[in-house]
Amino acid sequence: MNRYQNQSVVVIGMAKSGVAVAKLLHRFGANVVVNDKKAREEATGAEELEELGIPVICGYHPDDLIHPGISLVVKNPGIPYEAPPVAKAMELGIPVITEVELASQIAKAPIIGITGSNGKTTTTTLVGLILKEAGIEAMVGGNIGTVLCGLAEVAEPDQWLVAELSSFQLMGTREFRPHIGVLLNLYPAHLDYHHTMEEYLAAKCKLFANQTADDAAILPFDQPEVRGKCGELSARTYFFSKTQEVPRGAYVDQGMIVFVDGEGSREEIIAVKDITVPHVDNALAAIIVTRLAGADKQSIAQVLSTFPGVEHRMEFVATKNGVKYFNDSKATNPEAASRALQACKEPIVWICGGLDRGIDFRELVPVITGRVKAVVALGQTAPILLERAREAGIKEGIRVDTVEAAVLAASKFADAGDVVLLSPACASWDMFPSFEVRGSMFKDGVHRL
């Protein structure tokens, strides 16, 4: 990576990715400065970086941090482009990237990139498990687990790098090129960051921007507006569908999941009734990815029929007094919550609410009508969600201030044979540092009942 030798680089935002990037660029000979608006005592990793001789500035963004002598800015994905140092860098024409761009520059191993509004973690986890079952070397990271540039530095050419990628990460890419790219779906989300659906989709589609005919792009056939807006792709295109046959990819045919390579080969992989994956489209996408990566049919079927699920994603917590409790804290938008609600066959006591992003939630009214018996709402969106519940004819509803109170209230609404479902339809940041914290508090509350 001689391109960074003696170059001045500013890393904005620490967290795991910022610390990893700073250390990596330092090893490449760059003159790195790290800046984080958090107070020093909250900036985990600052002391470690300073011991390496990397300057760390905490608590504010200095006015002179960004100047024409800076060659590159690497920002934490969650920092908006309107943040003063980022905006100044862009005004000066300084490249602004995220950590995954750096990972792609150093990776010797081919990358599998997986993105979408919903289902990224489940699909990424599935792909990693199937490749392992098939005896194919793979490392899983990105937006989950290990920072991607840390994996890219050690992965060998005969391994796969399987990466969950957010729109925030992809928006900061320039040369990033996965050998296999997957866009699972697209629904309104993160519009407080991206501002418009067009910008949000453009960030997702950067996954395919640098692919060639030697690469593969995997798209949802059941969302024609998404695949249409991706435009003409250079990569070989595969599709997945729950509702109809596709020319190349995976689909459901009379209860059986089928893979077709587009050249006359047709394989029946597994019956839908035999999979333990919460959402069939995640399984379909994983099948295409792993078949292209060399996994055999038997390994794919084995994992799909035994997959234990992922924490905070339709995670079964416990049965209390005949009531089943499920933690779906990762459902941070209405579409994700809709999928979870429709997956439950029993009467539901729904715990919902969180950060207000200006969504009206009207699309959930037909979903909860006749399916949800009571609503327990918390967070900034509690009033509007309770209003939608009333529109759906749900007579039982209450607003609470804590997750613990939500669990207790839901337990009083629920009868034996019901389901209590935490599926917030909102991000967690109005009350919690992450959806993981929210989900863990829910599980703790359930176990204390």
Each residue's pLDDT tens digit, 154-206 = 999 999 999 999 988 999 999 999 999 999 998 766 666 667 878 888 888 99
Position 138 in a domain = yes
Tokens 């960030």 map to which residue? 203
Same domain, 137 and 254: yes
**440 annotated ligand-binding residue:** no
The per-residue pLDDT for range 15-24, each reduced to its tens digit, is 888 999 999 9
Position 170 in a domain = yes
CATH code, 331: 3.90.190.20
Same domain, 110 and 92: no
Position 297 in a domain = yes
Same domain, 92 and 226: no
**C-alpha triplet 72, 105, 239: angle, nearest 5°:** 120
Same domain, 289 and 408: no
At how many degrees (to 10) do helices 297-304 and 280-292 cross?
A: 150
Domain boundary among 304, 337, 356: 304
**276 annotated ligand-binding residue:** no
Q: What is the pLDDT of residue 134?
A: 98
The C-alpha atoms of residue 146 and residue 427 are separated, in whole angstroms, by 22
The tally of domains found in the chain comes to 3
Same domain, 328 and 297: no
**122 annotated ligand-binding residue:** yes
Q: What is the pLDDT of residue 191?
A: 66
**206 annotated ligand-binding residue:** no
Same domain, 138 and 264: yes
Tokens 């107070």 map to which residue? 39
Same domain, 270 and 320: no
Q: What is the pLDDT of residue 62?
A: 94
Tell me how far CA of residue 190 lies from CA of 210, 247, 357, 377, 444, in angstroms. 24, 32, 8, 21, 28
Q: What is the pLDDT of residue 131?
A: 98
**117 annotated ligand-binding residue:** yes
Position 235 in a domain = yes
Domain boundary among 304, 326, 357: 304
For the chain, first and last CA: distance in Å?
55
Q: What is the pLDDT of residue 195?
A: 72
Same domain, 139 and 73: no
Which residues in the chain come in under a pLDDT of 50? Answer: none
CATH code, 249: 3.40.1190.10
Q: What is the pLDDT of residue 41?
A: 84
**88 annotated ligand-binding residue:** no
Position 375 in a domain = yes
**145 annotated ligand-binding residue:** no
Position 62 in a domain = yes
CATH code, 88: 3.40.50.720
Question: Edge to edge, what strands does the sheet with 249-253 contain?
Answer: 138-142, 160-164, 111-115, 180-183, 216-220, 236-241, 249-253, 256-260, 266-271
Same domain, 87 and 117: no
Q: Which residues contact 130 (CB under 8 A, 6 or more apart)?
A: 286, 290, 295, 299, 300, 303, 304
Same domain, 57 and 30: yes
Position 310 in a domain = no
Position 309 in a domain = no
Q: What is the pLDDT of residue 12?
A: 96
- Provide the whole-model pTM: 0.81
Domain boundary among 53, 73, 97: 97
Q: What is the pLDDT of residue 199?
A: 85
Same domain, 292 and 341: no
Same domain, 240 and 131: yes
The C-alpha atoms of residue 289 and residue 67 are separated, in whole angstroms, by 43
Owning domain of residue 132: 100-304
